[in-house]
Amino acid sequence: MPASQPPSLPHAKYLREDSMSEPCRDLLSSLPSEEDWVAASLCLYQGFWFPSRLLSGVLACQNHFQAHASDILLVSNPKSGTTWLKAILFALLNRAKYSTSDSQRRHPLLTQNPHGLVPFLEIQLYHEQENPDLAAFESPRLFATHLPYSSSTIGEGLQVQAGLPLRSEEKGQIPLSKCLDKYCQGVSQYGPYWDHVLGYYKASSEMPEKVLFMMYEEMKEDPCVHVRRLADFLGCPFSEEELRHGAVEGILRMCSFDILSTMEVNKSGKWPTGYQNQWFFRRGEVGDWVNYMSAEMGERIDGVMEEKLHGSGLKL
């Protein structure tokens, strides 16, 4: 399965509500709103809480994006391992192109941020332009999105859905207890979290050939097994020769926190949203929540998840 890096994208404008079209402004004014964990505005649209400043990109993506059968979509909840999986998917699909020692020294991941190599639909492409020309993307096109399954228009392509950690170590600009209250009420970016995850989990059960559901904890426990699982799902399995020569381990090494976080492009500079590139690189250790939350907080989240996922067959 050949793949290549995407074409260079124009420097996107900062994501501001004042850049919205008048129809989008009118819709936004009619929607319920809440304060986000970091004091940004969220709006309730189609049953999910979207960052208000991204609503125009969400609408444009829904109205104009036409999925191809060969498309590959990485779907995840925000702050849940997206950067790592973007790097892994890009390296996996392009491994034949960068298989020699000489080509490995020119690997795009050494000089470009994973978010530039695997662009978001609603945050980058369709936020910058209402109907961007995607003709320059070679097949298979590799995109990412945070859109919930019920709000998306990406049914044609292969979808890799990451069902990732529930207990985040992120601290917002408001008290952690208030963040927890909002989260347990379902108020979070692209939330309620459980509805976002269940949408794709059910789709993976109904269409396992189209939607692959993955768990972060399982990937962290045995990443080699799950990278091979990804390759099989995408139709580009590792050959016996690749396995003998450590191709899987090589991809994981290149995409590791220790390697990517030391790249100059990931230590400096900003994303078009204003976020610093280095903010996307956290160790993401399973169980690290105990250093930020009390046992009572953890038990509260567990209780909410047990209630919301009851009867679904999904265990987190």
Helix, strand or coil, per DSSP, at residue 117 = helix
What are the angstrom distances between the C-alpha of 74 and each of 183, 207, 229, 252, 308?
23, 16, 15, 17, 24
Do 273 and 38 meet the contact criterion of CB atoms below 8 Å apart?
Answer: no
DSSP percent split of the chain into helix, strand, coil, nearest 5: 45, 10, 45
Do 128 and 9 meet the contact criterion of CB atoms below 8 Å apart?
Answer: yes
Q: Comparing C-alpha atoms, which of 89, 100, 13 is closest to residue 57?
A: 13
What DSSP state is assigned to residue 217? H
Helix, strand or coil, per DSSP, at residue 45 = strand
User: Which among 146, 196, 226, 310 is annotated as catalytic?
Assistant: 146
Name 191's bridge partners. 49
d(CA 281, CA 296): 28
Do 17 and 28 meet the contact criterion of CB atoms below 8 Å apart?
Answer: yes
Do 124 and 54 meet the contact criterion of CB atoms below 8 Å apart?
Answer: no
Burial 77-114 (b: 16+ CB within 10 A, else e): bbbbbbbbbbbbbbbbbbbeebeeeeeeeebbbeebbb
Do 283 and 259 meet the contact criterion of CB atoms below 8 Å apart?
Answer: no
Residue 68: active-site member: no
Reading the block at residue 287, the tokens are: 């169980």
d(CA 266, CA 256): 13
Q: Which residues are catalytic?
A: 146
